[in-house]
């Protein structure tokens, strides 16, 4: 969807920042994908959950398009459609919602946690899903946990849907017993990536280890003053704040993208845990060496190529750092939907000194700058990719970088390949 605001542009130098990079701040028309998209990976991650979108037919069509058509298995999401009578206030939307939930739980007794997901239409008619969730939880005698969060398309970035979902879980996390400590990794990761990190943390003697979201929503991790947090995704800032309010401590680190990012991420956790750096280097030596060998072939293809990022997923800064430092790419404009300094400060310090960083978006002026520069590859949202390709620009869908396992040593080469593919395709087509 496209939103419009008054256009403005300023350049800021962040006070107290470890990075001296000037940041161009833009406010105007922006291109943003819907926050409901987070359901596509969250419903696969938490396998005892169900996401009931309370919205219009447009919301249902968007979910079907984003997730693809599932023929052989019933998905763990659906849409409670708001009809014209609901939107006009001629019907009691709460009564209809109660009926839909009752029928859903009778048909799907395997559901352990039910998320009621607010949308633009449900928020416009002021449907209070938090109150509805509490009422439904009581009426179903606690057989199922029922929570509500907003997946509204009015959010700044489509990945904020995960942040609001995880934030809704935080009040329900059990209390970590006093005098105990644990490590909590925050942000959705593919199961294969979780398993790889778990093996490394086990070798370092770091644990108990938990992930949020867990693989089953019923297995919520404990949190308390002994909890150390490390972010695995850059779009979980509000969840981090909610966890800190419960006493947890944030470990500042770059994100585990590429060899350098993963090494720094693991070293930061080890330092907080009191593990010697020498042990970390010993444990990661073999996977880091494998990653370096696998990455070399793509570095040859990518080195010297220019890449620009339009603001979309919040992954732009760590991706830009990886491509510049480990693949030898030149950074054009690096656009981010918003800059969360709490999580991004370690990344900002690793960007090239000449990086042109833009926070927010004023779409048309940004597209004009892109057309003038004509980078070798542009990372952008789905709504812009095809029009830019028609203009002869090579693009990469930002959303694919959210769906694909890209964190950790073993995925470093896979991450580089995602950027090499569009360039190879363009070359083969002879454009």
Question: 34 labelled as ligand-binding?
Answer: yes
pLDDT digits (tens, 9 = 90+) for 141-187: 778 999 999 988 666 788 899 999 999 999 999 999 999 999 999 99
Quick one: average pLDDT of 377-391? 92
Nearest residue to 394 (alpha-carbon basis) of 422, 418, 427 = 422
pTM for this entry: 0.90
Q: Are 120 and 55 in contact (CB under 8 A)?
A: yes
**pLDDT at residue 28 in the model:** 79
Q: Are 232 and 238 in contact (CB under 8 A)?
A: no
Can you tell me the distance from the alpha carbon of 354 to that of 304, in angstroms, rounded to the nearest whole number? 15
Q: Are 41 and 402 in contact (CB under 8 A)?
A: yes
- Within 213-296, strands assigned E span 227-231, 249-250
Question: Which pLDDT band, with edges at 50, 70 and 90, does 403 fall under?
Answer: confident
Can you tell me the distance from the alpha carbon of 225 to that of 274, in angstroms, rounded to the nearest whole number? 17
pLDDT digits (tens, 9 = 90+) for 297-325: 999 999 999 999 999 999 999 999 999 99
CB count within 10 Å of CB 276 equals: 11
Q: By percentage, how much of the chain surpasses pLDDT 90? A: 66
Rg over alpha carbons for the chain, rounded to the nearest Å, is 22
| Exposed / middle / buried, residue 405 (Cβ in 10 Å: 0-12, 13-18, 19+) | middle
Can you tell me the distance from the alpha carbon of 53 to that of 144, in angstroms, rounded to the nearest whole number? 17
**pLDDT at residue 56 in the model:** 80
Phi, psi of 270 (to 5 degrees): -60, -40
Looking at every residue in the chain, the average pLDDT score rounds to 88
Give the CA angle between residues 128, 133, 135 to the nearest 5°. Answer: 95
Return left, alpha or beta for 8; rule: phi > 0 is left, psi -120 to 50 is alpha, else beta. Answer: beta
Q: Are 269 and 253 in contact (CB under 8 A)?
A: yes
Mean pLDDT lowest among 66-70, 202-206, 287-291: 66-70
Can the peptide bond before residue 208 be classed as cis, meaning omega within 30 degrees of 0?
A: yes
Quick one: average pLDDT of 224-247? 97
pLDDT digits (tens, 9 = 90+) for 115-148: 999 888 788 778 899 999 999 998 887 789 999 9
Question: 120 labelled as ligand-binding?
Answer: yes
Question: Which pLDDT band, with edges at 50, 70 and 90, does 39 fall under?
Answer: confident
Q: Are 288 and 260 in contact (CB under 8 A)?
A: no
CA 254 distance to own-chain centroid: 15
Can the peptide bond before residue 213 be classed as cis, meaning omega within 30 degrees of 0?
A: yes
Question: 59 labelled as ligand-binding?
Answer: yes
pLDDT digits (tens, 9 = 90+) for 22-37: 888 888 777 777 778 8
User: What do you get for the CA distance between the two ends of the chain, in Å?
Assistant: 30
CA 117 distance to own-chain centroid: 17
Q: Are 78 and 50 in contact (CB under 8 A)?
A: yes
Can you tell me the distance from the alpha carbon of 16 to that of 232, in angstroms, rounded to the nearest whole number? 24
**pLDDT at residue 91 in the model:** 55
Give the CA angle between residues 358, 212, 318 to the nearest 5°. Answer: 25
Quick one: average pLDDT of 14-21? 50
| Domains by residue range for the chain, with CATH | 2-31+288-429 (3.40.50.1980), 35-154 (3.40.50.1980), 182-280 (3.40.50.1980)
Q: Are 296 and 413 in contact (CB under 8 A)?
A: no
SS3 assignment for 157-210: CCCHHHHHHHHHHHHHCCECCCCCCEEEEECCCCHHHHHHHHHHHHHHCCCCEE
pLDDT digits (tens, 9 = 90+) for 51-87: 999 988 887 877 777 666 444 456 788 888 776 555 5
Question: Which pLDDT band, with edges at 50, 70 and 90, does 1 fall under?
Answer: very low
């Amino acid at each position: 969807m496209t939103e419009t605001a008054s256009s403005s542009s300023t350049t800021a130098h962040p006070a107290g920042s470890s990075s001296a990079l000037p940041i161009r701040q833009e406010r105007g028309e922006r291109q943003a994908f819907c926050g409901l998209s987070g359901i596509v990976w969250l419903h696969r991650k938490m396998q005892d959950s169900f996401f009931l979108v309370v919205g219009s037919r447009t919301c249902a069509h968007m979910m079907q398009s984003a997730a693809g058509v599932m023929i052989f298995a019933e998905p763990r999401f659906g849409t409670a459609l708001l009809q014209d009578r609901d939107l006009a206030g001629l019907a009691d939307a709460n009564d209809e919602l109660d009926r839909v939930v009752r029928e859903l739980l009778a048909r799907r007794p395997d559901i352990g946690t039910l998320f009621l997901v607010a949308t633009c239409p449900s928020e416009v008619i002021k449907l209070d899903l938090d109150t509805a969730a509490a009422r439904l939880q009581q009426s179903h005698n606690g057989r199922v946990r029922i929570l509500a969060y907003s997946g509204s398309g009015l959010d700044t970035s489509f990945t904020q849907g995960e942040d609001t979902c995880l934030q809704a879980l935080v009040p329900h996390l059990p209390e970590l017993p006093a005098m105990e400590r644990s490590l909590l990794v925050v942000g959705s990761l593919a199961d294969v990536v979780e398993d790889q990190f778990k093996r490394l943390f086990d070798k370092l003697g770091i644990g108990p280890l938990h992930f949020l979201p867990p693989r089953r929503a019923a297995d919520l991790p404990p949190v308390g003053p002994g909890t150390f947090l490390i972010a695995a995704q850059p779009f979980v800032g509000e969840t981090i704040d909610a966890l800190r309010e419960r006493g947890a401590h944030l470990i500042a680190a770059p994100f585990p993208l590429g060899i350098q990012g993963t090494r720094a991420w693991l070293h930061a956790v080890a330092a907080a845990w009191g593990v010697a750096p020498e042990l970390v280097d010993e444990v990661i030596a073999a996977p880091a060496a494998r990653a370096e060998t696998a990455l070399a072939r793509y570095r040859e293809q990518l080195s010297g190529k220019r890449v620009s990022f339009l603001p979309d997923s919040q992954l732009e800064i760590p991706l830009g750092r990886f491509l510049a430092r480990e693949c030898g790419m030149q950074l054009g404009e690096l656009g981010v939907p918003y800059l969360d300094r709490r999580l991004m400060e370690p990344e900002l310090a690793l960007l090239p000194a000449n990086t042109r960083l833009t926070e927010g978006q004023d779409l048309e002026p940004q597209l004009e700058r892109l057309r003038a520069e004509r980078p070798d590859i542009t990372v952008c949202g789905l709504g812009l990719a095809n029009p830019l390709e028609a203009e002869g620009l090579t693009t990469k869908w930002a959303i694919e970088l959210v769906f694909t396992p890209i964190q950790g040593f073993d995925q470093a080469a896979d991450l580089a390949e995602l950027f090499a593919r569009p360039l190879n395709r363009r070359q083969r087509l002879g454009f």
